[in-house]
Structure 1
Amino acid sequence: MLMIIRPYEEYDEKSWLRCRVLAMLDTAYYDNVLKEKERYGNPAIELVATEGEEIVGLIDIELDTRPGEVCSDSERRGGLIRHLAVHPDKRRQGIGRLLLLEALGRARTSGMQYLEAWTRDDQWVRNWYANVGFRMVDSYLQVYLESGDQLKGMIESKVPQLHPVSVFAHYTGSDKAYVVSKFSRVHETSRFDLDLMEL
């Protein structure tokens, strides 16, 4: 069946959500489920790859209107990749690369100087970003603290009878090995940049 890359439309939402959920199930984002598509406060590039009525890939990039507004770099205008997913039955067919290439042209036309992507510690995803020209520039840890021993002495409630059951936290310190050894679910989340001025 012919695949088409086109802008996202409101009527795509259900198929968009289904594609994203299925794409995340075997990744470190397996529990990052959305019930509705994210809407952006800034201009955005929102593209889908379709086969017939089914969305088989998607990319959303929110754009800076001034440096540092959405992206990390306060000197250059960038586009932050909010979502990039390919249906698991359609992987390794170049859909992600085609979506990215279409988005790159639109980002350049919009005056963006670089793209920024954040991803967790799935090595195959990191390899994909590196293979399409991104380079890793930063990382921090995302930490899930579960009830019991992991929360004891770490998180306390000041509200009587309110007991934390689980906590999601960011660790930006230098002793990553200690944090990894202390908690059962820790993800290294890395920033990858693609300089659009060098392409």
Structure 2
Amino acid sequence: MPIVIRSYEPADETSWLRCRTLTFLSTCYYDDVWARRPPSPAVQLVALDGDDAVGILDIEIDGDLATIDTVAVDPDHQGRGVASALLTRARSELPGTVSVVDAWTREDEPALEWYRAHGFAESEHYLHVYKTWEDTDAGWESPSGLSAPLTAFCHASVQDEPELRGRFSRVYVCRRFSRPVTAK
């Protein structure tokens, strides 16, 4: 049965969540798990193999900017052009006012290569820093009566990368990729 790309429907939620979770497990976003799908994206697409979502793409729109919020392909279907087909369909659904599509991603080489192969250029950078219970870093103060944070997610400047990588086990460069809508 061929893969069908169509707009997301509420009945797709469980399959959508499963696809996103399975995809993210092998990436720097492995703990970005959701129990419910957010309702807001302007463009919401699924790639279906039968009733199973094997690819998903959500895009938020703010004026002339369209931001890819989620793009994921089930690991069993990666390398088959599913994400590319979703992007092509999404481009056709963008309002005429959109002039730029962008996305923010981390250090996963397959994702970086995919954006570059689709004409996205890398520009802005900042850090995602996680403090986990395994990090014994001093400098975290809590209000009286509370333990030190077991987990914290922070943003930081790339200028501080060497020092932060020395203190924390999870530090990622977050990169903005963008491309004009008319570029191929």
TM-score, normalised to structure 2, is 0.93
Q: 2:117 aligns with which of 99, 114, 131?
A: 131
Which of residues 102, 115, 129 in structure 1 aligns to 2:101?
115
Superposed displacement of residue 173, structure 1? 5.0
The ranges of structure 1 where at least 4 consecutive aligned residues each deviate by more than 6 angstroms after the TM superposition are none
CA contact (8 A) 2:137 2:168 kept: no
Query: Match of 1:26, SS?
Result: coil
Task: Give 1:110 shift.
Answer: 4.1
Aligned length: 183
Name the amino acid aligned to 1:124.
P
Does the 8 A contact of 2:107 with 2:172 survive in 1? yes
1:94 aligned residue: 81
The secondary structure found in structure 1 opposite 2:47 is strand
Offset at residue 129 of structure 1 (A): 0.5
**Counterpart-to-counterpart distance in 1, 2:96 and 2:136:** 46
Partner in structure 2 of residue 4 of structure 1:
4
SS at match of 1:39: coil
Q: Which runs of 5+ in 1 are unaligned?
A: 67-76
Q: 1:74 maps to what in 2? A: none
2:144 aligned partner: 160
Q: Please give the alpha-carbon distance, in whole angstroms, between the structure 1 residues aligned to 2:75 and 2:3.
A: 15
Inter-partner Cα distance in structure 2 for 1:148 and 1:95: 37
Amino acid at match of 1:140: Y
Q: Is 1:55 the equivalent of 2:53?
A: yes
CA contact (8 A) 1:151 1:166 kept: no
Counterparts of 2:134 and 2:11, CA distance in 1: 44
The secondary structure found in structure 2 opposite 1:174 is helix
Aligned CA-pair RMSD: 1.5
Equivalent AA in structure 1 for residue 106 of structure 2? R
CA distance in 1, matches of 2:134, 2:12: 42
TM-score (norm 1): 0.87
Amino acid at match of 1:170: H
